[in-house]
């Protein structure tokens, strides 16, 4: 399965653990803080902040945590000075990886990123080495199960196309909708307005093409992705790997 959708599925399954939930809250707080710092504390006029708040609420983050994160971003409360840094590199088999970080010490973070890549038989590249393989897009995942009423593919397709979506793909678990960043909020709202449950919704880096890996290279790639995700400074990890469904099931066994 393709890297962007498969890795999202893996992360959602791992998200049930307390440790993963704690890391998610930390990342969301950083995102809210930076969004408020860069665009102001009013979500009505700050789309990035609005999305971060909605994501935090969907993850059941307490309202007080959200409020404090905003206030730290606007300077109403003292907070850490964060810097956004993006790293690019390769996993075994030539899989391209983009790592988005938020850090208070970029010198430390780049050293640790280099170590993680090296330890898992990958290598950290220079800026621009793999970014050209990805494009920023909105992605909304609608599950087949857990809906108040059944959602047909034709009905959902009509809703999202009317709202400005680019594409929709389906599999046994549900539907993955792709939009431009500009159309993302309108498409998400159109789905919500119909009472359809959304499993995840975010603007992310989506690969244009995919690199097929198997065997040891597939195993090493997944271990590298997991190691990057577990780092405290990492906000998002994107990759263009393509791993066979049966092999993926065996690796996550």
- Write phi, then psi, for 200 (nearest 5 degrees): -155, 150
Supply the pTM of this predicted model: 0.85
Mean pLDDT across the stretch 126-155?
Answer: 91
Three-state secondary structure call for residue 51: helix
CATH of the domain at 69: 1.10.10.200
Residue that terminates a domain, selected from 52, 74, 96: 74
Expressed as residue numbers, the domain containing 190 is 134-207
Residue 3 confidence (pLDDT):
47
Q: Cα 159 to chain center, whole Å? A: 24
Q: What is the pLDDT of residues 193-228, one digit of tens each?
A: 999 999 888 898 989 899 999 999 999 999 999 999
Judgement on whether residues 215 and 181 belong to the same structural domain of the protein: no
Residue 99 confidence (pLDDT):
97
Judgement on whether residues 128 and 214 belong to the same structural domain of the protein: yes
List the structure tokens of 212: 């097929």
Residues 6+ apart with CB under 8 A from 107: none
Residues 6+ apart with CB under 8 A from 168: 153, 156, 157, 160, 175, 176, 177, 178
Q: What is the pLDDT of residues 50-80, one digit of tens each?
A: 999 998 998 889 999 999 999 999 999 998 8
CATH of the domain at 173: 3.30.70.980
Please give the Cα distance from 13 to 222 (Å, whole number). Answer: 14
Please give the Cα distance from 243 to 4 (Å, whole number). Answer: 11
């Amino acid at each position: 399965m393709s890297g962007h959708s498969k890795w999202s599925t893996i992360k959602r399954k791992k998200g049930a653990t307390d440790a993963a939930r704690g890391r998610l809250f930390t990342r969301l707080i950083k995102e809210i803080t930076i969004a408020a710092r860069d665009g102001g504390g009013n979500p009505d006029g700050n789309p990035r902040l609005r999305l971060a708040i909605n994501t935090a609420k969907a993850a059941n983050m307490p309202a007080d945590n959200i409020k404090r994160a905003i206030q730290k971003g606007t300077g109403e409360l003292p907070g850490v000075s964060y810097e956004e840094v993006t790293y690019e590199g390769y996993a075994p088999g030539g899989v391209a990886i983009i790592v988005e970080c938020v850090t208070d010490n970029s010198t430390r973070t780049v050293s640790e990123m280099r170590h993680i890549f090296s330890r898992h038989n990958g290598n950290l590249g220079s800026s621009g080495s793999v970014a050209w393989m990805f494009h920023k897009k909105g992605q909304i995942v609608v599950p087949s199960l857990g809906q108040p009423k059944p959602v047909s593919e034709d009905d959902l397709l009509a809703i999202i196309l009317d709202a400005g979506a680019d594409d929709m793909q389906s599999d046994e678990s549900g539907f993955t909708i792709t939009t431009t960043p500009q159309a993302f909020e309108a498409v998400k709202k159109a789905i919500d307005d119909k009472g359809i449950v959304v499993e995840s919704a975010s603007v992310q880096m989506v690969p244009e093409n995919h690199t097929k890996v198997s065997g040891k290279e597939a195993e090493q790639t997944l271990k590298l992705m997991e190691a990057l995700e577990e780092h405290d400074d990492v906000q998002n990890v994107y990759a263009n790997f393509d791993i066979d469904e049966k092999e993926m099931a065996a690796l996550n066994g």
